[in-house]
Structure 1
Amino acid sequence: KQEFLRHFYFGKEMFVKRKIIERRKSKLQGFADLGSQKAFKSLKRLKRYEYNFIKDSCWKLAHKVIDLSKSYGNTTIVVEDLKNLRVGREIGNSKGRKVNKIINKIPYAKLFHSLSCLCEENIITFSKINPYHTSQLCSRCGALNKSGKVYKTYVCKSCGLIMNRDNNASRNICKLFRERSIVTNVSQTSLNRVAVSQPLLSNAVHNL
């Protein structure tokens, strides 16, 4: 069994950078609204810079993930399916103005697009898993530990497991993928009459 040796801390760096850009954009927008053409042009350049920064960051991270996967001799990358991540009052799942803004600025679609393209290029399977309860389930005993607050450390009240919350969620994502793959392979085996003892997965599955 292989352990995960590295983390890529992507969100914090991007959040800090975009926060600085947002402040600058807000200031320029104020001058542009007053009719300043210089501010309008600067605002346009800043928006283009922000777009390129996000795009470049996503591709760089995607390349790092692919390189890590290759170092394990792995052929599968699994991520949470975050297509319903958007939050807001109009959607009915608002988490507060400040948190809504942070969540809605996560460029997950661009990152997943970059990963998907590179996976196809490097013949690596790219799979998405339903994120339901992945951060609340204990990866050791399977107990559900609900908490109104989100802490960096996950503590299981049933078995006493103490682990980084992201690590725990990652292990659950791997388990869900393996379970889904086993079910799929068993179904195919029944139809194709192939021996069920054949290998179903590679030795390591990496996830974000």
Structure 2
Amino acid sequence: MTDYVRLRRRDPVVIAEGPGPLPRAWRNLSGFDKLSDAELRRHGWYPFRTWPDPIIKPNREKVTHHLEIEDGEVTRRWDVEELTEAERIHRLGERRREILAEIPAIRFRFETGGIVFDGIPLHTDRESQATIALAALQGAGERWKGSDGKWYAMEPERLQAAAQAVMAHKRACFAREEALVAEVKAADSLEALAAIDLEEGWP
């Protein structure tokens, strides 16, 4: 199905409505979508054609669009241009803010993703962190359920060591978050930001 646009201006081309299907009625004209293209143009409506955007290097290039009337159609074309220095700085700031907003969620995923201590798979979600720390403080042995659904005998010393391992894992995750944030803030180009692997270096 052909899309149409209504123009507000022809030179330069400015679209007032659309792109989309023709209305069945417009300004008290019923059967508007049955009019010929020549009649539609008298009312400012034109078939609309657009071309898919090209693949670009987003760290160096941008796509700019322009409209033109060609063979009775409004056509949206594109040009590929180099980013200006001001645009690169602006895009660097935007991308840096996006990455910094992503990092806490990545840290939380690794922090709460579990560990294996002395052959025992342990949950490390926030509730489990608090539960194992409290159990270790009580100084008694426990039958502890691992993240694999199995039960393990945990004498007091082993339980305390497990709690310490969970806390060490949490500290290591926050330390990696701090280091990653510093690395992102220090990146002085879009290429440097793109080279940072947000999934590496976690415990």
Query: Which structure's residues are more often strand, by fraction?
Result: 2
What is the TM-score with the length of structure 1 in the denominator?
0.29
Larger fraction in helix: 1
Bigger relative contact order (CA 8 A; separation at least 6): 1
Rg larger for: 2
TM-score (norm. length: structure 2)? 0.29
